[in-house]
Amino acid sequence: MEESFIDTGLDKKEGVISSGIDKLDRLLEGGIPHGFTTVLLGSPGSSIEILVKQIATIDNVTYITTEETKDEITETMKRFNWPIPDIKFVDISARYYSRVLEGEQRRVSVYQQRSKLKLKELIEIGSKGMPSTTTSDEDFLAVLSNGVKNSPMGGIIIINSLDFFLSQYHQEDVLKTIYAAKVSNLKKKGALLIVMTKGIHGELFEKKMEGLADCVLELDVIQKGSSFERFLSVKKMRNFAKKIGIARYVIDDSGFVLEMIERIM
């Protein structure tokens, strides 16, 4: 194992897409190769959401968000004083939460109406069963597919995060959609980044995602005494074995900062 400080004077290379973070590009020896699908596995507390927002501040980005709305994301970017380019948002989060609130409001309205009925009428309606409280009839996997399909050539596509789809659909359906997104990204020569929380969807599913991916980055938090250390590992880089390595990182006022690379030879 070879340990070295990161050289921030890395020249941009042909055939790769920059992450917009010089030291991360150094860890990847130039950036993400065109057409690669990258899975970002983050343990709770790893601040993976800061990393993907920082990557999103470069040009030509399609951001498919399920955990935060467009406004919440741009507010975080402003807090770190990052430039905010013309990001193409596919704001599934706002659409989903709107439908949840609509569904809850319908449910409340039903109870309000029933509270005004006589006991006999209430029993009669109640015997027919409650109306469906399904929060959404929209196919968000289809929204995801269209978001990837309509992304520009050679750009970065961020899916943050896969956890939402896995809570709504069967794992095999999600895998099929992600495979289709991978093929689309390959044709567009872009960089597809998929965020997923580590350790909550089962070891087998994680292995399937790692097998599907061209690149796997893993963010971990390790407690050492009373302090915590964060590490980013390049677990897989298809056809680029020498890029496998690990780096310590911190989150400061400027955002995600890599500190040191330990290259695994």
Q: How far is CA 14 from CA 18, 25, 41, 200, 213, in A?
A: 10, 13, 27, 37, 21
Query: Right CATH number for 2-93+140-263 from 3.40.50.150, 3.40.50.2020, 3.10.450.50, 3.40.50.300?
Result: 3.40.50.300
Query: Does residue 135 register a pLDDT over 50?
Result: no
Split at pLDDT 50, 70, 90, the class of 1 is very low
Which of the pair, 146 or 260, is modelled with greater confidence?
A: 146
The pLDDT tens digits for 59-117 are 899 999 998 999 999 999 999 999 999 999 999 998 898 776 555 555 555 455 555 55
- pLDDT reported for residue 23: 87
- pLDDT reported for residue 6: 37
- pLDDT reported for residue 112: 52
- pLDDT reported for residue 190: 97
Q: What angle do CA 175, 38, 179 make, to 5 degrees?
A: 25
Q: What is the mean pLDDT of residues 251-260?
A: 90
Q: What is the mean pLDDT of residues 14-38?
A: 91
% pLDDT > 90, the chain: 65
Please enumerate, as own/partner, the contacts of 205-211 that have beta carbons within 8 Å and a separation of 24 or more.
Answer: 205/166, 205/171, 206/41, 208/175, 209/39, 209/162, 209/175, 209/178, 210/39, 210/235, 210/236
Q: What is the mean pLDDT of residues 143-162?
A: 96
Split at pLDDT 50, 70, 90, the class of 123 is low
- pLDDT reported for residue 227: 84
Least trusted range by pLDDT, from 9-13, 30-34, 143-147, 244-248: 9-13
The pLDDT tens digits for 39-65 are 999 999 999 999 999 999 998 999 999
- pLDDT reported for residue 26: 86
Calpha distance 245→236 (Å, rounded): 9
% pLDDT > 70, the chain: 78
Give the DSSP per-residue string, the chain: -EEEEPPS-PPP-TTEE--S-HHHHHHTTTSEETT-EEEEEE-TTS-HHHHHHHHTTSSSEEEEESSS-HHHHHHHHHHTT------EEEEHHHHHHHHHHHHHHHHHHHHHHHHTS-HHHHHHHHTT-PPP--S----HHHHHHHHHHTSPTT-EEEEE-HHHHHHHS-HHHHHHHHHHHHHHHHHHT-EEEEEEETTSS-HHHHHHHHHH-SEEEEEEEEEETTEEEEEEEEEEETT-GGG-EEEEEEEETTEEEEEEEEE--
User: With a threshold of 0.75, does the pTM exceed it?
Assistant: yes
- pLDDT reported for residue 226: 83
Which of the pair, 218 or 10, is modelled with greater confidence?
A: 218
Split at pLDDT 50, 70, 90, the class of 128 is low
